[in-house]
Every structure is written in structure tokens, then in C-alpha cells.
Chain A
Amino acid sequence: MTATYTYPKYAYRRPPELDGPSARRGVVVVGAGPVGLAAAIDLAQRGVPVLVLDDDDTVSVGSRAICYSKRTLEILDRLGCGEPVAGKGVGWKVGKVYQGSELAYQFDLLPESGHRRPAFVNLQQYYFEEALVNRARALPALEIRWRHKVTHVAPAADGATLRVATDDGEYALACDWLVVCDGARSPIRRLLGLDFEGQVFRDRFLIVDIRMAADHPAERRFWFDPPFHPNQSVLLHRQPDDVWRVDFQLGWDADPEAEKQPERILPRLTAMLGPDAHFEIEWASVYTFQCRRMQRFRHGRLVFAGDAAHLVSPFGARGANSGIQDADNLGWKLSLVVAGRAPEALLDTYDAERVAAADENLRNSTRSTDFITPKSAVSRTFRDAVLALARRHPFARRLVNSGRLSVPAVLADSPLNTPDAASFAGAMVPGTVAADAPVTGACGPWLLDYLGGGFVLLVFGEGVDAAAARALCAAPVPCRVVQVGGAGGADREVIGDAEGLVAARYDGRPGTCYLVRPDQHVCARWRAFDAAAVRAALARATCRPPET
């Protein structure tokens, strides 16, 4: 237990299936971790009834994720629980890397203003999950069953049959779709004998959360070879409640049990923080890290997401952050398929897009880990050479890799994108997450308040006539029109470009249109509105045959 946090205990309830017939379910989610909860909230918000099964009755225990990215916060905003996470979390954007005790390199993850959310917030994973549970409980279409452990899964062509163990006995449950978010050890992945290829890094890390009143700025600080922990690295992060995360590299030969003992930890902390520092240990654990993923995330009616599907080292904060993006990607697709508005092939694009994103995360995480834990003498020599050069030469600072922090995946190669036919300046290529910007309008002061949920056609100026806007809203997969500037009627939302940043970030000359997916990714854009082109792009983005 920690001194600053009281773990909620969610009540187990005897399931009706033990006393009567078991009704078939549409979608069942296994695992109420960050990813399962996000997926379930997204589906329920879209009106898809969801049952979540979790074998535990509380939130994540101990020291796990702390750094949540801007994109995660934006997704949580869409899911109706961004505020408790962003509000409680400690925002930061500057990272400092030290070699010995000298500052070698410093980076700013969000140098520009005009975004609702900061580059990162730090927050203990239990608070994060608690915010999601609270949101989940407010949704009538969502039911969570605590202390319900899935012990067996039999996949079928049209769904799956589960066995679920409870305190009162076991029951069977059939469903059309199973979303598997049961974490890194994924019992379901193992039960089904599915692959999980990759590598384990031969290193150990002591992760300690301490409580300490200190007013260091909220920055990420990373040391290579500091005087207080020679030859190894150390990472320091600030969390709410005066809690600090310290991460000591120990080397492969360290004894994980012995290193967890306070008598071993205290001298390390005193060496780092000085003899006069007052602190209390909240939690300590020793980890080894791995980088691996499943070959495919979709297996028929089973869809894997989060740590169950892919695992990275924490340098870069790409674990939960990528899992939340999985949920973001899956929610709208599965809801369209369940509603019969898109073919099952749409879910293969979940696989394609999120496998590509996982590879990007694995690549970055592996590179960071290879820099922090060199695998050979020569790799160590080059690492030390980079650090030595970084003190004097700017070019070498770019090579220092203490973790490349999570940024949203750009789904540039997605089959759902319509290639550009005109040229555009800026970053908003198809596949990119729509950039935020300050706006004026009825639904809030940020552009992202108007994007997402369903498809949106973001238009600059009055180029879409009323009949065309109404037709888009009435299409089988509806598309709302959001217009930047000008006047408009009930068939669209009109927003003002408060600081000119929407036009700047989207190269939004008058007439320009962007088609934005329900997960806020850009999937097509044009220099002028063309109803047929928009319909074709919508069909493509939902794997539907082109309309004739």
C-alpha cells in the first residue's frame, strides 16, 4: 500500500448466468487496464453494448506507467475523461540529459503554443485507471464485472465462447467479438498458443517511487554515468502528491530480490538526493524489459490490443500511450462492423495500422534500450563517444538516446487514406492525427472538440452548399460538416479561427477540405469541395465498395 493513495475496491457481484441462462453478448472486453477500459468506453459511447471482464477488483497496483502523452489526453478528451487525468497530472515538456553531472543535451517536446494539452503529464497509473473506471461507470451501455477471470476461450467463425471463473463458480459466455486486453502476460494469447516474438534486454532496473517535498521543476531528467550512480543511468520524474519516480539502472547481474530491500535502496537515494533530503519510499520494484509483438493483432473475431499485443521498454513512454491509440483505432471500426455499416475487412486495417504503429514503437524503444544498455563492447564505446562529443558538438546531442518519447503514429501507408491530388504545406498529410488549434464556437475553444466521434469534413470557407452538407449527414456512414469561418445554417457547425492557427496548421486556403476520421486522423484532403470525391474517400476509409 502507498501512503498517498487509497486503492478503490470495486464490488464483485454474482453474475446472473450462474442462476439462469447465459445470453449471447455482442462485444466482450477482457481486461480493465487502461486499454480495455478505453476500448470499452469508446464502444459504449458509440452505442455498442459492452461487457468488460477483469480478474481483479481494483486499479493498477504499485509503480507502473506515469507519463501520458498529449495524444493520450486528446483521446481521453474524446472519451469524456481527459480532464481528471490532465487536471491531476503534472504537465511537462522539457527533458534534460546529463553526462556525469554536466548537462549534455536538452529537448522541448512542444515548443509551440495553441494546443489544449501539454506534451506530457505525469500521473500514477492508478489515478489514470480510476478516471477511466469512473467514466465507464457513467455509461449505461457498459458493464464491468470485477473478479471475473476468463479461464478458457474457444474461438469460432462467428465469435467465441468463454469460460469465466468467479468466487461463486464458473459459467460459460458466448460473444460475437472478443477484444483481448489482458496485459503483457496475456493468458488468452497463451491459451491459444499465439506467437509473441521479440527480445528481452539483459538489464535490470530498480523503479522507486518516493514521497518528498522538493521544488525541482517538472522536467524529465536523465543521467548517464552520474557521480551518485557510476557507470549506470538514472531517470527522475515528478508525479502529483509530491511523489517522485526514480529509475536506477542496475545491470544484468543485480539480484532483483536483494535490490528491492530498503537497506539497499536508501543508500542509492541518499547518494542521489543528498544526506539532508527527507523522503519516504512509496513503492519499489525491479524490472527487466522486453520488446516484442504478436505477428497479427486480429485473429478472426478476436482482436488483441495494448500490452497483450505488443510490449516495449518504458524509455519513451510508449506502452500505455500506444495501447490507448489501439483503442482509439479499434472503437469506431468495430462499432461500424457491429452495426453492419462496414465490412469485417475494416478490422484488418486495425491490424495493418496498429502493427505498423507497434513496429515504430518497437524500433524507437529498442534503439533507446540499445543506447542505454549497450549489448557489446563496441556498442558501449560508440555510446561513450557520442556522450563525450555531445559536451562540445551539437551534432552529437542529436544522437544521445535516453528515450524518444511517444508521438502519435502517422498512418501514412494506411489503405484507408486517399492520396493527395494537390499539394499542401505543413504536417497534415493523410494518416496524421489532426493538429489541435484554438477556435471559437458553440462546442468549445479547441479544434479537436469538433473533430472525431464520427467522420468530419473540415472546410475552410463556405464552399459546401446546404444540400451537399445535408446529403453527407444522411449518408450510410454519416459525415458532419465543420466550417472554418463564414456563415452557415443548421446543416453544419461553424467555428472561428481564433488565432489563425487552423489555417496555418492545415494550409487552409479558402475552399480547402479535410476528411477527418472518427479517431481524428486525417484521411483525405482537397483544394475544393467535390461531393463525389468525398463520397469515394468515405467509402475507402470504411472499406465499403464505391457508390455508383
Chain B
Amino acid sequence: MATLVTDPNIAAPDDFYEALIEAHRGLTDAQSALVNAKLVLLLANHIGDAGVLQAALAAAREDVASA
């Protein structure tokens, strides 16, 4: 079964990070939220594996307490 990769896996991390921020340039907060949501859905479908998705959801929520 596939597991969530949390060790470095992106060849040029600074390039990716810059592109991620760039993707939001000129957007309102609401538009950015929409772009982020679309990004999450696209990546989730690419991953597909339910276990990996669950692990990613859990890791994203870690240390973020309910308001």
C-alpha cells in the first residue's frame, strides 16, 4: 500500500514554491481560495489512493485545533 511521502520529493523546491505563490498573483482572497480548492481537488485526483489522501488530510490538520 502506498504511504504519504513526507521526505523531500520535489526536485527544485524553491521553483515550485515561487510558482505556487505566482499562481495567486492578482487574485482576491476569495479567488485565491477557489484556486487553492481547485488545486487540492486536482492533486487529490492525481494521487487517487484513499490511504494517502487520508494521511494527507490528517497531516494537514495536525496542530490546528478546532476554533
Contacts and interface: CB of A to CB of B under 8 A. Distances in A.
Interface of A: 377-378, 381-382, 384-386, 388-389, 393, 395-396, 399
A386 B37 CA distance: 8
A381 to B, nearest CB: 5
B20 interface: no
Contact of B41 (A377, A378, A396): A396
Contacts of A377: 33
B34 A385 contact: yes
B38 A389 contact: yes
A382 B40 CA distance: 9
A386 B42 CA distance: 10
A381 B41 contact: no
22 contacts: A377-B33, A378-B33, A378-B37, A381-B30, A381-B33, A381-B37, A382-B40, A382-B41, A384-B34, A384-B37, A385-B37, A385-B38, A385-B40, A385-B41, A386-B41, A389-B38, A389-B41, A389-B42, A393-B42, A393-B45, A396-B41, A396-B45
Interface residues of B, number: 9
Interface of B: 30, 33-34, 37-38, 40-42, 45
Interface of B is mostly: helix
A388 B41 CA distance: 11
Nearest to A383: B37
Contacts of A384: 34, 37
A231 to B, nearest CB: 14
Contacts of A393: 42, 45
Given A385-B40, A389-B41, 12 more contacts: A381-B30, A381-B33, A382-B41, A384-B34, A384-B37, A385-B34, A385-B38, A388-B34, A388-B38, A389-B38, A393-B42, A399-B41
A37 B33 CA distance: 51
A396 to B, nearest CB: 6
A388 B40 CA distance: 13
A30 B46 CA distance: 53
A378 B41 CA distance: 13
B10 to A, nearest CB: 23
A387 to B, nearest CB: 10
A395 B40 CA distance: 13
